[in-house]
Amino acid sequence: MNKIALITGGVRRLGKDISISLSEIGYDLIVTYNKSSKADIDSFKKAVKTKVDLVKSDVSKVSDIKKLFKHINKNYKSLNLLVNNAGIFRHYDFFEITEKDFDDFINTNLKGTFFCAQFGAEFMLKTKSENPQIINLASLGGIQNWTGYIPYSVSKAGVIKLTQQLAKRLAPDILVNSISPGTIVIENDKNETVNFNEMKKYPVKKFGEARDITSLINFLATENKFITGHNFIVDGGKTL
Protein backbone atom coordinates (compact mmCIF):
# COMPACT_ATOMS: atom_id res chain seq x y z
CA MET A 1 0.00 0.00 0.00
CA ASN A 2 1.32 3.43 -0.97
CA LYS A 3 1.98 6.13 1.59
CA ILE A 4 -0.40 9.10 1.61
CA ALA A 5 0.58 12.75 1.15
CA LEU A 6 -1.66 15.79 1.52
CA ILE A 7 -0.53 18.81 -0.49
CA THR A 8 -2.44 22.09 -0.10
CA GLY A 9 -2.62 24.26 -3.19
CA GLY A 10 -1.19 21.36 -5.14
CA VAL A 11 -2.82 21.73 -8.57
CA ARG A 12 -0.91 24.70 -10.04
CA ARG A 13 2.58 26.14 -10.22
CA LEU A 14 5.07 24.84 -7.62
CA GLY A 15 2.33 22.88 -5.85
CA LYS A 16 1.68 20.92 -9.04
CA ASP A 17 5.36 20.02 -9.37
CA ILE A 18 5.48 18.95 -5.72
CA SER A 19 2.41 16.75 -6.19
CA ILE A 20 3.71 15.14 -9.39
CA SER A 21 7.13 14.53 -7.88
CA LEU A 22 5.66 12.81 -4.81
CA SER A 23 3.46 10.74 -7.10
CA GLU A 24 6.54 9.65 -9.05
CA ILE A 25 8.12 8.25 -5.87
CA GLY A 26 4.98 6.29 -5.05
CA TYR A 27 2.79 8.49 -2.85
CA ASP A 28 -0.97 8.49 -3.28
CA LEU A 29 -2.19 12.06 -3.07
CA ILE A 30 -4.84 14.18 -1.43
CA VAL A 31 -4.57 17.58 -3.12
CA THR A 32 -6.47 20.75 -2.32
CA TYR A 33 -7.26 23.54 -4.73
CA ASN A 34 -9.28 26.72 -4.48
CA LYS A 35 -9.35 28.85 -7.63
CA SER A 36 -7.86 26.44 -10.16
CA SER A 37 -9.62 26.29 -13.53
CA LYS A 38 -11.05 23.13 -15.10
CA ALA A 39 -8.15 23.22 -17.57
CA ASP A 40 -5.67 23.33 -14.68
CA ILE A 41 -7.39 20.40 -12.97
CA ASP A 42 -7.57 18.32 -16.16
CA SER A 43 -3.87 18.97 -16.87
CA PHE A 44 -3.00 18.00 -13.31
CA LYS A 45 -4.94 14.74 -13.43
CA LYS A 46 -3.14 13.67 -16.60
CA ALA A 47 0.27 14.32 -15.04
CA VAL A 48 -0.19 12.36 -11.80
CA LYS A 49 1.00 8.74 -11.80
CA THR A 50 -0.74 7.43 -8.66
CA LYS A 51 -4.16 7.79 -7.03
CA VAL A 52 -5.20 11.39 -6.46
CA ASP A 53 -8.11 12.74 -4.43
CA LEU A 54 -8.88 16.37 -5.34
CA VAL A 55 -10.64 18.42 -2.67
CA LYS A 56 -11.79 22.02 -3.12
CA SER A 57 -10.74 23.88 0.01
CA ASP A 58 -9.96 27.48 0.92
CA VAL A 59 -7.31 27.11 3.62
CA SER A 60 -7.85 30.69 4.78
CA LYS A 61 -11.12 29.43 6.29
CA VAL A 62 -10.92 27.09 9.27
CA SER A 63 -14.40 25.80 8.39
CA ASP A 64 -13.02 24.56 5.05
CA ILE A 65 -10.04 22.93 6.76
CA LYS A 66 -12.41 21.14 9.13
CA LYS A 67 -14.41 19.82 6.15
CA LEU A 68 -11.18 18.68 4.49
CA PHE A 69 -10.13 16.66 7.51
CA LYS A 70 -13.63 15.30 8.03
CA HIS A 71 -13.26 13.89 4.51
CA ILE A 72 -9.80 12.52 5.31
CA ASN A 73 -10.97 10.95 8.58
CA LYS A 74 -13.81 9.23 6.72
CA ASN A 75 -11.79 7.93 3.78
CA TYR A 76 -8.21 7.30 4.93
CA LYS A 77 -6.50 5.14 7.53
CA SER A 78 -3.26 7.12 7.69
CA LEU A 79 -1.46 10.27 6.56
CA ASN A 80 2.30 10.12 6.18
CA LEU A 81 3.09 13.57 4.83
CA LEU A 82 1.50 17.00 4.93
CA VAL A 83 2.95 19.67 2.64
CA ASN A 84 1.56 23.10 3.50
CA ASN A 85 2.09 24.76 0.14
CA ALA A 86 -1.02 26.91 -0.38
CA GLY A 87 -0.26 30.61 -0.21
CA ILE A 88 -0.67 34.01 -1.83
CA PHE A 89 2.02 36.42 -3.04
CA ARG A 90 1.39 39.99 -4.17
CA HIS A 91 3.26 43.31 -4.20
CA TYR A 92 1.88 46.20 -2.15
CA ASP A 93 3.28 49.55 -1.13
CA PHE A 94 3.17 49.92 2.66
CA PHE A 95 0.70 52.84 2.50
CA GLU A 96 -1.67 50.98 0.15
CA ILE A 97 -2.23 47.93 2.35
CA THR A 98 -5.78 47.62 3.69
CA GLU A 99 -7.00 45.57 6.63
CA LYS A 100 -8.49 43.06 4.19
CA ASP A 101 -5.17 42.74 2.35
CA PHE A 102 -3.32 42.12 5.61
CA ASP A 103 -5.90 39.60 6.80
CA ASP A 104 -5.79 37.75 3.46
CA PHE A 105 -2.04 37.13 3.81
CA ILE A 106 -2.16 36.11 7.45
CA ASN A 107 -5.25 33.92 7.03
CA THR A 108 -3.98 32.06 3.97
CA ASN A 109 -0.23 31.83 4.54
CA LEU A 110 -0.04 31.51 8.32
CA LYS A 111 -3.41 30.64 9.83
CA GLY A 112 -4.08 28.08 7.10
CA THR A 113 -0.71 26.46 7.72
CA PHE A 114 -1.33 26.41 11.47
CA PHE A 115 -4.73 24.71 11.33
CA CYS A 116 -3.80 22.25 8.58
CA ALA A 117 -0.87 21.26 10.78
CA GLN A 118 -3.09 21.01 13.86
CA PHE A 119 -5.72 18.79 12.22
CA GLY A 120 -3.07 16.89 10.25
CA ALA A 121 -0.96 16.12 13.31
CA GLU A 122 -4.02 15.01 15.26
CA PHE A 123 -4.93 12.57 12.48
CA MET A 124 -1.36 11.30 12.12
CA LEU A 125 -1.11 10.58 15.82
CA LYS A 126 -4.57 9.02 16.06
CA THR A 127 -3.90 6.66 13.17
CA LYS A 128 -0.29 5.94 14.18
CA SER A 129 0.86 6.83 10.66
CA GLU A 130 4.29 5.56 9.64
CA ASN A 131 7.09 8.15 9.90
CA PRO A 132 4.73 11.15 9.76
CA GLN A 133 6.13 14.49 8.63
CA ILE A 134 4.96 18.05 8.04
CA ILE A 135 6.75 20.29 5.54
CA ASN A 136 5.80 23.98 5.44
CA LEU A 137 6.58 26.20 2.46
CA ALA A 138 8.02 29.41 3.88
CA SER A 139 9.98 31.96 1.83
CA LEU A 140 13.14 33.99 1.58
CA GLY A 141 10.78 36.87 2.26
CA GLY A 142 10.37 35.55 5.77
CA ILE A 143 14.10 36.08 6.33
CA GLN A 144 14.99 39.14 4.28
CA ASN A 145 13.30 42.55 4.42
CA TRP A 146 11.19 42.88 1.29
CA THR A 147 9.54 46.26 1.88
CA GLY A 148 7.23 45.88 -1.12
CA TYR A 149 5.86 42.65 0.34
CA ILE A 150 5.43 43.42 4.04
CA PRO A 151 2.25 41.38 4.81
CA TYR A 152 3.61 38.46 2.78
CA SER A 153 6.99 38.58 4.49
CA VAL A 154 5.44 38.84 7.96
CA SER A 155 3.21 35.82 7.24
CA LYS A 156 6.17 33.73 6.03
CA ALA A 157 8.34 34.76 8.99
CA GLY A 158 5.48 33.40 11.08
CA VAL A 159 5.59 30.12 9.16
CA ILE A 160 9.29 29.72 10.00
CA LYS A 161 8.69 30.32 13.70
CA LEU A 162 5.59 28.09 13.63
CA THR A 163 7.72 25.30 12.13
CA GLN A 164 10.16 25.51 15.03
CA GLN A 165 7.36 25.54 17.59
CA LEU A 166 5.58 22.57 15.99
CA ALA A 167 8.81 20.58 15.71
CA LYS A 168 9.39 20.95 19.44
CA ARG A 169 5.77 20.32 20.42
CA LEU A 170 5.25 17.29 18.18
CA ALA A 171 8.61 15.60 18.84
CA PRO A 172 9.41 12.76 18.91
CA ASP A 173 6.33 11.59 17.01
CA ILE A 174 6.18 13.95 14.01
CA LEU A 175 9.08 15.63 12.20
CA VAL A 176 8.40 19.21 11.09
CA ASN A 177 10.54 21.29 8.73
CA SER A 178 10.15 24.26 6.41
CA ILE A 179 11.62 25.31 3.10
CA SER A 180 12.39 28.91 2.17
CA PRO A 181 12.83 29.16 -1.60
CA GLY A 182 14.40 32.05 -3.41
CA THR A 183 12.89 32.90 -6.78
CA ILE A 184 11.69 29.74 -8.52
CA VAL A 185 10.87 29.79 -12.22
CA ILE A 186 8.10 27.31 -13.04
CA GLU A 187 8.22 25.53 -16.39
CA ASN A 188 5.20 26.14 -18.67
CA ASP A 189 3.99 28.98 -16.42
CA LYS A 190 3.73 32.71 -17.13
CA ASN A 191 5.85 33.44 -14.01
CA GLU A 192 4.12 36.80 -13.74
CA THR A 193 5.51 37.52 -10.27
CA VAL A 194 9.14 36.96 -11.28
CA ASN A 195 11.38 40.03 -11.63
CA PHE A 196 14.11 38.78 -13.93
CA ASN A 197 16.24 41.86 -13.16
CA GLU A 198 16.80 40.34 -9.72
CA MET A 199 18.79 37.45 -11.20
CA LYS A 200 22.04 39.45 -11.10
CA LYS A 201 21.74 39.58 -7.29
CA TYR A 202 22.03 35.78 -7.08
CA PRO A 203 25.62 34.53 -6.66
CA VAL A 204 24.88 31.55 -8.93
CA LYS A 205 23.50 33.99 -11.57
CA LYS A 206 20.28 32.07 -12.09
CA PHE A 207 16.94 31.44 -10.47
CA GLY A 208 15.85 28.12 -9.05
CA GLU A 209 13.68 25.51 -10.75
CA ALA A 210 10.88 23.42 -9.30
CA ARG A 211 13.18 20.40 -9.03
CA ASP A 212 15.37 22.33 -6.59
CA ILE A 213 12.42 22.22 -4.19
CA THR A 214 10.87 18.89 -5.14
CA SER A 215 14.15 17.00 -4.78
CA LEU A 216 14.48 18.29 -1.21
CA ILE A 217 10.90 17.36 -0.38
CA ASN A 218 11.44 13.89 -1.84
CA PHE A 219 14.57 13.44 0.26
CA LEU A 220 12.77 14.43 3.44
CA ALA A 221 9.76 12.26 2.55
CA THR A 222 11.83 9.14 1.88
CA GLU A 223 15.02 9.43 3.92
CA ASN A 224 14.48 11.73 6.87
CA LYS A 225 14.27 10.14 10.30
CA PHE A 226 16.19 12.70 12.33
CA ILE A 227 15.96 16.27 10.97
CA THR A 228 13.30 18.44 12.58
CA GLY A 229 12.75 22.14 13.26
CA HIS A 230 14.98 23.16 10.38
CA ASN A 231 14.31 25.86 7.78
CA PHE A 232 16.01 24.87 4.53
CA ILE A 233 17.06 27.94 2.52
CA VAL A 234 17.10 27.12 -1.19
CA ASP A 235 18.15 30.39 -2.76
CA GLY A 236 21.23 30.07 -4.96
CA GLY A 237 23.20 31.97 -2.33
CA LYS A 238 20.91 35.05 -2.34
CA THR A 239 21.06 35.46 1.44
CA LEU A 240 24.87 35.72 1.19
Selected catalytic residue, list 27, 33, 149, 152: 152
151 preceded by cis ω (within 30°)? no
In angstroms, rounded to a whole number, what is the distance separating the alpha carbons of residues 60 and 178? Answer: 19
For residue 175, list its beta bridge partners: 133
Catalytic residue status for 152: yes
In angstroms, rounded to a whole number, what is the distance separating the alpha carbons of residues 174 and 189? Answer: 34
Tell me which residue of 77, 38, 78, 75 sits closest to 56, measured CA to CA: 38
Other beta carbons within 10 Å of 145: 8
- C-alpha atoms less than 13 angstroms from C-alpha of 22 in its C-beta half-sphere: 30
- Which element (helix H / strand E) includes 133? strand 133-137
- Which element (helix H / strand E) includes 69? helix 62-75
In angstroms, rounded to a whole number, what is the distance separating the alpha carbons of residues 84 and 209? Answer: 19
Residues designated as active site: 152
